[in-house]
A and B are shown apart, each in its own frame.
Chain A
């Protein structure tokens, strides 16, 4: 019943608002990252610190970037591993 009422009052297509919101969300991911390139630098430093607890990595060739796909933005990190640490299981 509720479903019927819902269908009765909603339009078939979702309206341009959701398109606007989604486009805005994506564009702001890029704007904010571009405005402060330090952001990615800081993230990179933090990543190195955390990952070094578990493995030895090639910091020189570590690459962190934002990549844009059709309808999403992904944080892509390429982190060459030199050696795994021996972590005692608790």
Chain B
């Protein structure tokens, strides 16, 4: 019953690693056994976002080369019971990891974990191809900007042509105030263009950067809005139909009035 999910985007810097870390911690908080694979060989990030960078001994490329066993390379998170990281190499290049390596690794991991989540590199080259080869479900991360949505569209096409049908989208860094004044595409606009289902919307939130600075993903923070947004996404992955979060809890009077009179 375990699932192998790839988190991808096409465009760089839109939030793949942040999403992977938060979904992983969130699923572990709900009592699931989770393995996160950093598939961004050469530019490893997931370890620092999770605060596990000091505990790495072996990595993905060591497992592939046979320098160690898979279990030796897995880092167990001490805060979240059940959460494990398979880090990648910072000094090798993406071609060190071929699709067949990823497939056999995730096959092995799926026997040990409920969820295996792969953090894709940016782009649509080797690293992307290896990561999607191993997955059976895909999450596409985008921001509400032309270039990011364009690349998301390209990636959706590539996912579908390699058999990963109906990927779900996460819209990251949403700024409700900008949408309200007509300077940012809305959730509906983006879904209309991409034509795929929504998994969730994450507000643009400086607390995410604070969390990343500390190596503590925001999903564990009860107070923050983005933490709540990630917890909702986790519930949806677990099959609970959670309604969309209102991203602007303290809207001004005029905004409310606009909504009451049905003016968009």
Contact = CB atoms under 8 A, between A and B. Distances in A.
Contacts of B149: 24
Interface in B5-63: none
Nearest to B179: A17
Contacts, number: 51
A20 B193 contact: no
B153 A17 contact: no
Contacts of A24: 146, 149-150, 185, 193
Given A5-B263, A31-B153, A35-B157, A16 B182 contact: yes
- Chain B, interface residues (CB within 8 Å), range: 20 to 34
Looking at chain A's contact residues, the main secondary structure is helix
A9 to B, nearest CB: 6
A57 B262 CA distance: 53
Given A17-B185, A35-B157, A27 B150 contact: yes
B interface SS class = helix
A32 interface: yes
B150 to A, nearest CB: 6
A4 B261 CA distance: 12
A68 interface: no
Interface string B234-264: 0000000000000000000010011001010
B93 interface: no
Contacts of A17: 179, 182-186, 189
A25 B193 contact: yes
Contacts of A32: 153, 157
B248 to A, nearest CB: 16
Given A27-B150, A31-B154, A9 B258 contact: yes
Contacts of A89: none
B181 interface: yes
Interface of B: 145-146, 149-150, 153-154, 157, 179, 181-186, 189, 193, 254, 257-258, 261, 263
13 contacts: A5-B263, A15-B182, A16-B182, A17-B179, A17-B182, A17-B183, A18-B182, A20-B185, A23-B146, A31-B153, A32-B153, A35-B157, A36-B157
